[in-house]
Each structure stands twice: as C-alpha cells, then as structure tokens.
Amino acid sequence: MPLVFAAIAPHGSIAIREACAPGEEDVAVITQRGMTNLGRLFARSRADTVVIATPHNVHISGTLGVVVAGRVAGHLNGAPPAISLDLVSDSAFAWRVLAAFGDAGLPSVGISFGGNDPGSAVAPMDWGTLIPLWFMGGRRRQAVHVVLVTPARDLAADAHIRAGIAIAEAAARSRRRIAMVASADHGHAHDPNGPYGFDPAAREYDDLVCELVRTDELQRLSDIPPELVERAKADSWWQMLILHGATSKGWRGRLLSYEAPTYFGMLTAAYAPTRGTSSRPGRRTPRRTRAR
C-alpha cells in the first residue's frame, strides 16, 4: 500500500529530555514538544515499518546504502543506559528498496554487519536513527520494524529525489504500512563557539528550509546552491531530498517546530497523504527561538 506517514525529525541528543545532561533538560524544549507531537501523529498512522534516511551510518562514496542486516541496535553515547533500542529490520522491504534503487538506475548497495548471514546479523544503530525512533515507534510494545537508507553526498540532488520515488513505489507494492523519516539537523554554524564556528549561511539556510516546509514547496530544495549547504554546515539537504521524492505526489506537510538553541538548527515536520488518513496535517506557523 502507499506510504502512510512521513516526517522530518532532528537527531540532536537534546531532543530526548531523558538523555540531557543535568541543566540541559530545557535547552531544546520546543524541539522536545515537536518530537512528542510527531510521535502522536505517527501513532495515528499505524505504521508497521519505518524507513529512516540517516546521515550518520555508513558512508559509501557515490553510492546509496540500504541496511539488510536482520536487526539494528544501539545506545546513545553519553546518555543513560536506558536510552537504547534494539529493533528488528524489515529485511524483506529492505531488499525491495534495494531492488527499486537498481531498477531506477541508482548506484546502491546492501549493507550488513558482523555475522556472515544478513538475517542473523545486527547492524549498529546510529544516533540519526535512534533519536527519531525514540519517538516514532521504537519504544512501543510491538515495536516498528526498521529499514535504514544512507544518502551519498557526492551524488546529485536528482539521485536522492529518485531514491525517494523508488521507496514510495516499493511501499505501494507492499502490504505493510510504511512510514518515511528524514533524519535531519540543519545549519551547524549558528554559534561562533560551536565546533563549526559561525557563518550567517546557517541562518539563511535554516530560514529557507523553514519556508519550503511551511509552504509545501520541497521541490525547491534542489534549487538551493550546494555552496550554501556547505557554508551552513547543513546535515539535512540530502535526506530531505529523499523525503521530497517519496512525498512528491498528493502529500501535505505541517511544520511543527523549529529552533537553534545551540550551534545547530532542529526542525520537526509531519507529512501525510491528502486522502485516506485521519492524521492529515495542516499548515501551521512554527514557534521559533533565536540561535544562541
């Protein structure tokens, strides 16, 4: 059946209140509320499987990756031991996605880890995967199955859009209820004391992304100059292009929140088909804070 839900979700650890160091619990309270809202909307979709486009798993030059290991498991570094997930992969759908990439002429490869039998292998779960799933199905009694997709920053924007289209087409041929999540933090150069220093491009990029999400114009992502993405130190463009491809026909988005309380920007947004779902988001102007 067609995809049932999609989202843009941040992956900064401060999005999880329980993962924050003492005194940091309220640093990203706007994002924490946005993630809670995403979790509620996700629950309404009754998704069985979540496809996560994550920038923090394996990096393969010029090639998209699909994790085909039987499980993915990990712990959020620096957080209490309880901030951990161990989830079953939707291996059958992962192979379908990989085949769809091949049919679309996209350079792609299946990825496993550890054991030689992919079905019994356990791949590392990166923070770009764990943090969105903490709110969207990873902790429920019958946890969602997961498929990890890794972008390739040296591939063109069009390749990532086509990858999203291929994921949506694979979902349409599946009997499972499948959601698509772009794990994305935005400009990382908001704070001169941050690890990437300060560049006004971070604010320019984040403001533009907020506008495109708010106005349902993700097709304009491909018009963003790569030079701006690089100067902003953005960690979101490629994953959002995949999400755009997956939701390019008949979807509507809702911008739930945006803030840049430290050196990087975090945005939450929910997408749903315009027909056939009770959790259809509407447009809303986000609450925002200035970068510090």
Nearest-angstrom CA–CA distance, 10 and 32: 10
**What are the tens digits of pLDDT across the range 134-150?**
999 999 989 999 999 99
Q: How would you classify the pairing of strands 251-259 and 266-273?
A: antiparallel
Residues 6+ apart with CB under 8 A from 89: 67, 68, 69, 70, 71, 72, 123, 145, 146, 147, 148
pLDDT at 288: 42
- Contact, 266 vs 31, CB < 8 A? yes
| Phi-psi sector, 117: left (phi>0), alpha (psi -120 to 50), beta | beta
Nearest-angstrom CA–CA distance, 157 and 8: 17
pLDDT at 42: 98
Using alpha carbons, list the distances in angstroms from residue 180 to 24, 102, 259, 269. Answer: 30, 19, 22, 12
**What are the tens digits of pLDDT across the range 63-82?**
999 999 999 999 999 999 99
Domain assignments of the chain as residue spans, ordered by start: 5-273
**What are the tens digits of pLDDT across the range 4-30?**
999 999 999 999 999 999 999 999 999
**What are the tens digits of pLDDT across the range 260-281?**
999 999 999 999 998 653 333 3
Query: Which among 14, 21, 15, 54 is positioned nearest to 38, based on CA atoms?
Result: 15
pLDDT at 285 over 70: no
Nearest-angstrom CA–CA distance, 214 and 194: 28
Residue where the block lists tokens 């570094």: 77
Six-digit token string for 292: 């510090």
**What are the tens digits of pLDDT across the range 160-217?**
999 999 999 999 999 999 999 999 999 999 999 999 999 999 999 999 999 999 999 9
pLDDT at 284: 38
Name the band, by pLDDT with cuts 50, 70 and 90, for residue 37: very high
pLDDT at 274: 87
pLDDT at 88: 98
Architecture of domain 5-273: 3-Layer(aba) Sandwich (3.40)
Ranking 52-56, 126-130, 152-156, 274-278 by mean pLDDT, the lowest is 274-278
Residues 6+ apart with CB under 8 A from 226: none
